[in-house]
Amino acid sequence: MSTPTARLLNLLSVMQTGGTWAAAALSERLGASDRTLRRDVDRLRELGYRITTVMGPDGGYRLEPGAVLPPLLLDDEQAVALSAALQTASGSGSALSEASARALATVRQVLPSRLRHRVDQLTVDAIPRSGDRPPPTVDPSTLAVVGAAAHDREVLRFDYAGRDGPARRVEPHGLVAQAGRWFLAAWDLDKDDWRIFRVDRMQPRLPTRLPFIPRDVPGGDVSTFVSARLKGSEHIDAWPCTGSVVLDSPAAEIAPFVGDGTVEELGARRCRLTAGSWSWSALAASMGRFDVPIESAEPTELAHAFSVLAERFSQAAAG
């Protein structure tokens, strides 16, 4: 049987997922009687959590957002996950590093000593990929405004750095963080087409309070759409140019460096690398970086790109 504290944490965790929970469903979920459930609900109310009793056949209990932060109740896994998330926020490309550190310090103060010790044991450093430039700084207030407009389905007006003319008017559909940069996927009302915008270049205007009806995002969701556009694809999340080569190297020595490519073992010292890029020349150049013999380039566009690069490199060597 679970302890009262563990049961209370479990109840709070379930109710924080939102919606109205029937008493019978909660009792079954917690493995507790109706009387025990009522007592646990009363304990949470005493701690400051606003739990409403909903009457009727579809009634039950609902956790309302509170104006004051009650004592923080986390289980071990939640505490570790929160600590890791706050420590890695510095790699998100926003000006959240300092705020994340302060948030972690605040959370740490209200944790029980046992959980505080577990959090202190976890140290995480966000290291950018080799060769990556530091991500641009994004103002947290800009993130909040843009995110709120997307959540509330309201038209967003903003100035965009590097673009002259009137403010942009878009229907924001969602934020995506990729490779340390923040992007907004939106329907551009002036261009009458889908666009992605870098949030670090956006300066929101006053809220419009103009609602819009969400559209079907290309690719099915915001993340897929942004990923596809960043790869140079208009419709699907795939590189415009995809090909394969056979490398004279064990697959284990190639696999850690191929990104979203795939490696197939062909023998003791041979493997097939399949990868993609925005152009055939870029793909050929990326496949040549392993400093091993290459053969069987497919398709013909990739083989031709190797020929073009070979000629350029020969000219550079001769020069």
- The H or E element that residue 169 is part of is strand 168-178
Span 68-123, pLDDT tens digits: 445 566 677 777 777 777 777 655 545 566 677 777 777 776 676 777 777 777 76
310 and 258, same structural domain?
A: yes
Please state the pTM of the whole predicted model.
0.60
Whether 69 is in a domain gets the answer no
Distance CA 244, CA 167 (A): 45
**What confidence category does residue 272 fall into, taking pLDDT thresholds of 50, 70 and 90?**
very high
Whether 106 is in a domain gets the answer yes
Reply yes or no: is the peptide bond before residue 299 cis, omega within 30 of 0: yes
295 and 270, same structural domain?
A: yes
197 and 115, same structural domain?
A: no
Give the range of the structural domain holding residue 117, as residue numbers without chain letter: 76-121
Dihedral sign, Cα of residue 153, residue 159, residue 163, residue 166: positive
- Number of structural domains in the chain: 4
Residue 236 carries which DSSP code? S
Distance CA 309, CA 96 (A): 43
List CB contacts of 57: < 8 A, sequence separation 6 or more.
none
305 close to 286: Cβ distance less than 8 angstroms:
no
What is the distance, to the nearest Å, from the Cα of residue 148 to the centroid of all Cα atoms in its chain?
Answer: 17
Q: Looking at 230, 251, 270, which one is the last position of a domain?
A: 230
144 and 193, same structural domain?
A: yes
**What confidence category does residue 169 fall into, taking pLDDT thresholds of 50, 70 and 90?**
very high
80 and 30, same structural domain?
A: no
Whether 88 is in a domain gets the answer yes
51 and 22, same structural domain?
A: yes
291 and 256, same structural domain?
A: yes
Torsion of CA 119, 181, 204, 87, to 10 degrees: 10
